[in-house]
Amino acid sequence: MGKIKLAVLDDYQQVALTSADWTPILAGCEVSVFHDHIDDVPALVRRLEPFEILCVMRERTPLPRALLEQLPNLRFIASTGARNASIDLKAAEDLDIEVAYTGYTSTAAIELTWALILAAARHLPQEISSVQTGGWQTRLGQELKGKTLGLIGLGRIGSAIAKIGNAFGMRVLAWSQNLTPDRAAESGAAWVPRETLFGDADFVSLHLILSKRTQQLIGETDFDRMKQSAWFVNTARAGIVDEHALMNHLKLRKISGAALDVFWNEPLSLQSPWRKLENVLSSPHIGFVTDEAYKTFYGDCARNVLAYLHGKELRP
C-alpha cells in the first residue's frame, strides 16, 4: 500500500511545514502543500480528489456539500481554528468524513483591530507613503481621547476592544442582539439601542460571529445613521455587512471611511473596487496571521492528523 495522501491548502506564507513538527506524519503520509488559492470548483475537485486528508486554514477554501460529494477519497478534515463555518458539517457526517479543530486565541485579532483604528485616525498609510515618495506632512489626524467607539458585539474580542478603548479615554458604546446593559457594563461599555450607536460613534467596530441570524445584519439604514466623519471597522466577517450599502456610502463620502480586514470574496480580484477606493484602509485578512497563532494552528493540526492516523480519539 502507498502512503496516505495529505494536502495542506492555502499556505499563503509558505510556513505550514516550518510552523510545526510534521516528522511523524511524513513517515506515513505523502504531503502536498498548496500556496495558491483556487475558486473554480471543477479545478478544485481535480486538485483535491486524490487526498484522504485535508488541512485547511480557517475558511479560505469553503467545503460545501457539492464539493465534498466529489471527493470520494476524503476521510478527514483538519481545520485550523475553533470552528469553521465554511465546512458543511452535516454533509461531512453523511459522507463519513471526520472533522477536527485546533486551539485559538483572539489576541491577534484584537491587536489588528486597534492597528486599523489607529492607522485610520492618524492617516498612517497616506503619511508613510508621502515620506516614501519625497513628501512630508499632508493632513491632520484625530486623537482618540474623547471620541466615541461603538462596538457591535461584546464577546471575547469585543470586550477586550472595549477595555482598550477605555484606556485611550474613549466613550465606549455597545449593542448586539442579546446584549444587556449589565453585561455591557461589565466590560466598561454602555449599552445603547442600535440606532443610537450608529448615530453617535466616531468609530463603529464589528465583532460578531457570522451566522444565519447575523448574515447581512448591518445595512443601508445603519450606514445612513453614521456621521459623515465616522469610520466603519470590520475585522470579523464580511458577510455580516451589506456589501453594496457600504460601498455606496463610501463612494458618495457619506461616511469618512472603512478599515477592513475581511471581504466578501477572498482573495480580492485584481479588478475589485475594494482595492481602489481612496477612503478604504484594507488589509488582506491578517487578523489571525501571526507567528504565534500559526504555531498553535499547525501544531494542533499536525497532532490531530497524527491522532487520525493512529486511530485515536480526536481533539474536540
Task: Write out the catalytic residue numbers.
Answer: 237, 266, 285
Question: Grid coordinates in use for 64?
Answer: 460545501
Cis peptide before 273 (omega within 30 of 0): no
Sheet hosting strand 29-33, strand order edge to edge: 29-33, 4-8, 53-56, 76-79, 98-100
20: helix, coil or strand? Answer: coil
Query: CA angle, 142 as apex, 227 and 204 as ends, to 5°?
Result: 40
Do the Cβ atoms of 243 and 232 come closer than 8 Å? no
| DSSP E strand boundaries for the chain | 4-8, 29-33, 53-56, 76-79, 98-100, 148-152, 171-175, 190-191, 203-206, 231-234, 257-260, 280-282
Residue from 305, 307, 292, 301 nearest 102 by CA: 301
Q: Position 285: which residue type?
A: H
DSSP for 233-283, written as a single string: EESS-GGGB-HHHHHHHHHTTSSSEEEES--SSSSPPTT-GGGT-TTEEE-
Measuring CA to CA, which residue among 35, 36, 38 is closest to residue 15?
A: 35
Question: How many angstroms separate the CA atoms of 79 and 48, rounded?
Answer: 15
